[in-house]
Amino acid sequence: MSTIRLTLDQVDPYEKNPRSKPNDNFLNIKASIEARGLDTLMWVTRRPGSKRYVLAKGGGTRYRALRQLWEETQDRKFFEIDFNYCEYRSEADLLAGHMSENLNRGEMCFWDKAKGYVDLKHEIEGNFGDLTYDAMVAKFKELGMPDIGKSSLALYQFAFDYLHTLGDATYGLTMLAVRDVLQPGYNLCLRLLNKSPKSDYDFDGQIWQPTLRAFGCTSVEDPDWHALMVSVEGALAEALQLDLGTLQGMLAGLKTSGRAATWEELLPSPPTSPTSHNDTGAGSSDNEDDWLAGNQTPGGGGNIAPAGTDPGVRVNTTPRTFARAPADGDRPPPELVAQKEAEQRNRATESAGEVKKAPPSPATSGNGNTPEAVNPPVSATVSPLFSGSRRVGAEHQKRALHELAIQLASHSKTLDRLVVTNDALPMGWMIDLPLDVLAGTPLPPLAKQIFWFLARASFQIAIGLEQADRVAGSTFAKFLAAASPEQWELVKPDDGFDFLMSWLIDPEHVSLAMPAMRMLALTRDLLANHPDEFLDLSKVLDFQELQQSHQERRHLQEQEDLAYYIENGASPDMVRRIFPAADLPEIRFRPGRIAEIDLKTAQRLYDVWDDLCLQIVSERTRYIRLHQVFPDTTMASLYSAINDLG
């Protein structure tokens, strides 16, 4: 070992630094160096054939602090300093030196440990080829690394290979989360898929990684890993054309029965008697026929749990059919009874080899046309949306949307079991309202949020206002018929759609955010990939007009934001970055001098900025919110301070 004096320009930070998570104590370290200098010298080495030095054995945070102090003060004591020099041995030795330094300080999160160990493993394999776990652990010890068990190394490898698409949410990973939730969940889902008729389905590419990517966008702090696995199970259920409850039961059965169980053995057995698949009313088509024939009343039966379901596992009910009687009686309308009886007679004659046309029902004219005064209930209405053949992919996505809607509604006792089938609507379902809303009772706050989201997702508000017959027979239809601006307040959230942000950033709402985000993604895919399924929807919703209106509002908001920036002292560099389309020569800037921000204020500023980064996607809006917290600081000064942080 020797000591060598170098300038910062002669030294490069280590480009493969295993610690990627920013040091929370950076500002304190920087302040300490400014006041006292370095307590210990940093280490450097030089690769063969290179004139540049590179940091060895850690030091990345101190190097960054010195860089900032030199740029801010131009004091050469921060620029020209002494380093400890060590001979270069290998890339593996260089990486191990940085790993050991950070591990000994206890400053590495699980993800950085996993990535560091796997990177080191790859470096060693590059020199010695594939090694057994025992041989690899021995190599780690030779490089001075702390002891590591084979099981820990296997978990690090799994995290590196399969969890990287979580993005910044990887920093929330723990050994327990990977060992007890994610790895066993991944393996169990993959085992079930391999037993299914779709064993060649791309689980990683089509289910696992897309779900993790979406989760990582919404669950950066304190992620709920169990909620993530529920989302994975939901995506797998959709791919296998199962409802979520059935799939969860099959997973539970596979977990207890071992690898010997077959797909057929894991599938739940069908009920032996006609039992309703929900606990609120209408059930299977057979039950509906019995009710229409007068043999039973709606509302009986209970949930049928899939075979192998563990106690406590929530099982989604099969979406119930929207086929309720009018408010003036428990019996279904006569015209629907007649239609059902005619269908049954047709089926009987067709099975005997003779096809006959059903006679007109009592509510129809002699030519079979229903008079305009008669509005058949929703379950008997055939929407022009779905005339002709349907694409299977679209049907699966709609079914998945329906199940996700049920999952969302179940979070509210008021709305639970009110997601109903409605083939007259483009998505094939709707969210109904409880009867007491008609009497003026408002929905509870959470129920308002869920109702508003689902009512918009099903397009029932826009369509119901234009074509009331497509939601006929529902409490929602009666509400629409009598709704006034005051009555809309009974079902509409006070903050419009702002509640979605709360769902996304509040860890307690992850069980709401995940199905909501998945519904948005599925709806977008449906509209993009199956436009012919939604031709009728375009008659009610003018998407071109909506898009144009959105662009106009966006442009207006951008102009208002730009005016705010200029009024509060933004610099040309800041405007060029935040408003790339702005015409800078036409703008009269008045940023003034960029003020120095004291250490205490800077620490608070960075804390506020970190919170804003988690809450707000738009950088433009983040700076406005930041300035509102620090109104006495110019936008240019805030921009400079944040750039120094980065």
Verify that 560 and 536 share a domain, yes or no.
Answer: no
pLDDT of res. 54: 92
Question: Are residues 527 and 582 both part of a single domain?
Answer: no
Q: What distance in Å separates the CA atoms of residue 224 and residue 177, rounded to the nearest whole number?
A: 9
Q: Are residues 624 and 573 in the same domain?
A: yes
pLDDT for 189-217, tens place per residue?
A: 999 999 999 999 999 999 999 999 888 87
12 near 52, Cβ under 8 Å? yes
Whether 585 and 617 map to the same domain: the answer is yes
Instruction: Indicate if 404 and 515 belong to the same structural domain.
Output: yes
- Across the range 102-108, mean pLDDT stands at 72
Q: What is the pLDDT of residues 613-646, one digit of tens each?
A: 766 657 888 899 898 988 888 888 888 888 765 5
Tell me the CATH number at 55.
3.90.1530.10
| Residue where a domain stops, chosen among 541, 568, 592 | 541
The alpha-helical segments, DSSP class H, found in 352-435 are 392-409
What's the pLDDT at 85?
Answer: 92
Residues 84 and 35 in one domain: yes
Does residue 323 sit within a domain?
no
Beta bridge partners of 6: 81
Domain boundary among 36, 65, 88: 88
pLDDT tens for 126-167 read 888 888 878 888 888 888 887 788 788 889 999 999 999 998
Collect all residues with Cβ–Cβ distance below 8 Å to 120 and sequence separation of at least 6. 92, 95, 96, 99, 140, 143, 145
Buried b (16+ CB within 10 A) or exposed e, 203-229: beeebbbbbbebbbebbbeebbbebbb
Asked if residue 615 and residue 592 are part of one domain, the reply reads yes
Q: Are 520 and 579 found together in one domain?
A: no
Is 338 within a domain?
A: no
- Asked which of 27-31, 69-73, 277-281 is least confident by mean pLDDT, the reply is 277-281
Question: Of the candidates 338, 432, 345, which has an alpha carbon nearest to the alpha carbon of residue 376?
Answer: 338
493-511: average pLDDT:
81
H helices within 410-542, ranges in order? 445-457, 460-466, 475-482, 485-488, 499-505, 510-529, 537-540
Looking at per-residue pLDDT, the higher value among 581 and 234 belongs to: 234
Count CB-CB contacts under 10 A for residue 109: 16
Q: Give the DSSP H or E segment for 337.
A: helix 334-351
What is the side-by-side strand order in the sheet with 320-321? 320-321, 419-421, 429-431
Residue 154 within a domain: no
Check: pTM over 0.85? Answer yes or no.
no
> Quick check: is 51 in a domain?
yes
CA distance 624 to 567: 12
**Phi/psi of residue 243, nearest 5 degrees:** -80, 160
Q: From 249, 266, 283, give the residue that closes a domain.
A: 266
Number of domains in the chain: 4
Let me know if residue 11 belongs to a domain: yes
Burial class (CB in 10 A: 0-12, 13-18, 19+), 50: exposed
Contact by Cβ (8 Å): 565, 578: yes
10 Å Cβ neighbour count for 3?
9
- Can you say whether residue 428 is alpha, beta or left, with left for phi > 0 and alpha for psi between -120 and 50 degrees? left
- Please tell me what DSSP assigns to residue 364: S
Whether the predicted pLDDT of 291 surpasses 60: no
Q: Are residues 457 and 580 in the same domain?
A: no
Per the structure, the complete domain to which residue 609 belongs is given by 549-645
> Which amino acid, 131?
L
Q: Name the band, by pLDDT with cuts 50, 70 and 90, for residue 59.
A: confident
Statement to judge: residues 45 and 185 lie in one domain: no
Is 345 within a domain? Answer: no
Q: Is residue 59 part of a domain?
A: yes
Q: Mapping DSSP to helix (H, G, I), strand (E, B) and coil, where does residue 429 land? A: strand
User: Edge-to-edge strand order for the sheet containing 11-12?
Assistant: 2-7, 80-85, 42-45, 53-56, 11-12
Whether pLDDT at 535 is above 80: no
410 with 511, same domain?
A: yes
Is position 421 within any domain?
yes
554 lies in the same domain as 483: no
Report yes or no: 420 and 322 within 8 Å, Cβ to Cβ: yes
Gyration radius (Cα) of the chain, Å: 32
Per-residue tokens: 549: 């209106």
What is the average pLDDT score of the chain?
A: 75
Count of residues making up the chain: 646
